[in-house]
Chains A and B, each alone.
Chain A
Amino acid sequence: MEQSFYIISWTDVFVSLVLVALCLFLIKWWRIGLEKTILIGTIRSFIQLSIMGYVLTFFFGLDHWIFMVCLIIIMILIASFEANRRLDVPIKGYFMMNVFSMSITVFIVLGTILQFILDLKPWFYPYAMIPIAGMIIGNGLNSSTLTTNRFIGELAHREDEIDTLLSLGASPRAAVDTSIREAIRAALIPNINGLMLVGLVQLPGVMTGQIIAGVDPLIAVRYQIMIMYMWLTTATLANVLIQGMVYKHFFTSKMQLRKELFRVNNL
């Protein structure tokens, strides 16, 4: 085989807007009412990714571990800010809880991949470190936000059960044990379903990207397997760490359930 991948030009990218136009046409025709959001999303993704491309090129050129670590810290801070914004009800200190849980998760998962799996030289090889860190942070953020919002819903749903357990002498952690387990289970199901269905229904993004870029499918598959396991671990770790902190916010120092905190939005 000759040239196995195609370098996409900016003109090509603009041509892909035809697809968005088709989408907008259908949305308008069916009066779904998302035109403005889609337009903003289209423009935002264009601008954000273009900037990200330049930022990555800049950082990759610096070629020193300290810059890579700084970039990962910035990514964690932005993700934690976004996680805070996506909550159904405000949780005091949620930003810092996310910074803490994401830092530990990135340290463990990224560290394992860089040190024991990819065995890169140098260990901070930016072309691997930054995209993988981005996947860990993005996936961790999505999963932990889903879990926290579900946990808040579980509290509202199980209010009587929690009160009963507390009244029998249970600690707050024991009283919300079922709520935490249910929330984490619900958040992990998409990851587990992904493991079950991968390769049967669709080719996942990373693998597709690598194949388009000319990588042997057998190698692309290995990367994809590693990334699927990484996602599962990331989601589990981030959820366990953050829920271990979040539940405390809903109790007073006298071990009383602070119902006013989750009744705000009439969940």
Chain B
Amino acid sequence: MTNVAKSIGGKQILCNINLEIFPGEFFCIAGPSGSGKTSLLRLLNGLESFDIGDIYYKGQSIQNSDIQKLREEVGMVFQNPAIFAETVKENLIIRKQWDKLFFVDENDLFEILEMVELPQHLLALDARSLSGGEKQRLALARTLLNKPSVLLLDEPTANLDPRLGDQILNTINQLRHQMNVTIIMVSHHIHQASKYATKAAFLIEGTITETGPISILTNPVTEAANLFLKEED
């Protein structure tokens, strides 16, 4: 991302964002609520446009890429994922609704379920009956079926208790190795994120205040990041 800025209704949401994320990284963007973290992920998935600057994916500006293909390759899992009023299986293969050629082999489906640690017997259940953690895993599996290279995760542990949150992050970290995906996660659960992430950045009031190795999550240099950590504690 080079010099990316975005405003909504005259309010500056993101300002002069410069970030470089490499393949295979588990990149954590930390910051308080309302600092623009979700907006940043939405820009990367192409769900929103930026005003100035540019975002490059595999060396090409995303403004010139096929947006549907980009969204498949740079998959996103929302904080509150939409679960459709259908069975778990139908939620997983929802892409069939618009892509008639989309086919998932039963073994591939079971494999994905195993990766996200979702039991097979849930497939026939109404997806709305799942618990919060199971819904998060279902959304993760649904995105993974697109075989993305990059996975954008918006506060994946926000609605889960610390133990479940840890389990989800552990699963995600394993997926990173198994499927060779790059993870970009936004979170304000610093301690949890610091166990798994490989690199990090602080996004505070729409600005990246610092970026670097994972150690910055616990020992930031800037005053703004220190203040945020103090408020979190």
- Which A residues contact B (CB, under 8 angstroms)? 160-161, 163-171, 173-174, 177, 252, 254-257, 260
Asked if B6 lies at the interface with its beta carbon under 8 angstroms from chain A, I say no
Which residue on B lies nearest to A252, using beta carbons? B49
Most buried by B among A168, A170, A254, A255: A168
When distances are taken between beta carbons in the complex, the residues of chain A under 8 Å from B146 are 168-169
List residues 42-86 of chain B with CB under 8 A from any CB of chain A.
Answer: 45-49, 67-69, 71-72, 75-76, 78, 80-82, 84
Hey, what's the 0/1 contact readout for B85-107 against A, CB within 8 Å counting as 1? 00000000011011100000000
Give the contacting residue for A256; candidates B48, B69, B78, B82; CB below 8 A: B48
On whether the beta carbons of A256 and B68 are closer than 8 Å, the reply is no
CA distance A164 to B71 in the complex (A): 10
Complex contact A168–B69 (CB within 8 A): no
Q: Which residues from chain B contact A255 at a C-beta distance below 8 Å? A: 46, 67-68
A215 to B75, CA, bound (A): 67
24 contacts between A and B (CB under 8 A): A160-B78, A161-B82, A161-B84, A163-B47, A163-B78, A164-B78, A164-B139, A165-B82, A165-B98, A166-B47, A166-B71, A167-B45, A167-B47, A168-B142, A168-B143, A168-B146, A169-B69, A169-B71, A169-B99, A170-B68, A170-B97, A177-B98, A256-B48, A257-B47
Whether the Cβ atoms of B98 and A167 lie closer than 8 Å is no
Q: A177–B146 Cα gap in the complex (Å)?
A: 20
| A164 and B81 contacting across the interface, CB-CB below 8 Å | yes
Chain B residues in 8 Å Cβ range of A163: 47, 78, 82
Q: How far is the CA of A164 from the CA of B135 in the complex (A)?
A: 13
Given contacts A161-B84, A168-B72, A255-B67, 6 further A-B pairs with CB under 8 A are A165-B94, A167-B45, A170-B95, A170-B97, A171-B98, A254-B46
CA distance A26 to B54 in the complex (A): 66
Taking CB atoms, residues of chain B closer than 8 Å to A177 are: 97-98
A230-B98 Cα distance, complex, nearest whole Å: 32
Write out the residue numbers on chain A whose beta carbons fall within 8 Å of the beta carbon of B142.
168
Of A161, A164, A257, A260, chain B has the most CB atoms within 10 Å of the CB of: A164
B140 CB to nearest A CB, Å = 12
Size class of the contact patch on chain B: 20 to 34
With A169-B95, A177-B97 in contact, is A164–B67 under 8 Å at CB?
Answer: no
Kindly state the separation between the CA atoms of A170 and B142 in the bound complex, as whole angstroms: 13
Q: A254-B49, A256-B47, A256-B48 are in contact. Are A168 and B71 (CB under 8 A)?
A: yes
- The answer to whether A254 and B67 touch (CB under 8 A), given A165-B94, A174-B97, is yes
By a CB distance below 8 angstroms, the chain B residues around A170 are 68, 95, 97-98
CA of A24 to CA of B76, assembled, Å: 59
| Bound-state Cα–Cα, A254 to B68, Å | 9
Ordered nearest first, which 8 A-B pairs have the shortest CB separation?
A174-B98, A164-B82, A169-B72, A161-B82, A167-B76, A160-B82, A169-B71, A169-B68
What's the minimum C-beta distance from B168 to chain A, rounded to whole angstroms?
18
B114 to chain A, nearest CB (A): 21
- Specify which chain B residues have a CB less than 8 angstroms from the CB of A260 in the assembled complex: 9
A255 and chain B: residue at smallest CB distance: B67
The chain B residue with its CB closest to the CB of A177 is B97
Q: What is the chain B residue whose CB lies nearest that of A175?
A: B98
Complex contact A168–B94 (CB within 8 A): yes
**A-side contacts of B45, CB under 8 Å:** 167
Contacting pair B82 A168 (CB below 8 A): no
Distance in Å: Cβ of B41 to nearest Cβ of chain A: 10
The complex places the Cα of A23 from the Cα of B78 at a distance, in Å, of: 54
CB of B109 to closest CB in A, whole Å: 16
Tell me the smallest distance from the CB of A160 to a CB of chain B, in Å: 4
Chain A: minimal CB distance from B110 (Å): 20
A169 to B46, CA, bound (A): 10
A256 touches B94 (CB 8 A): no
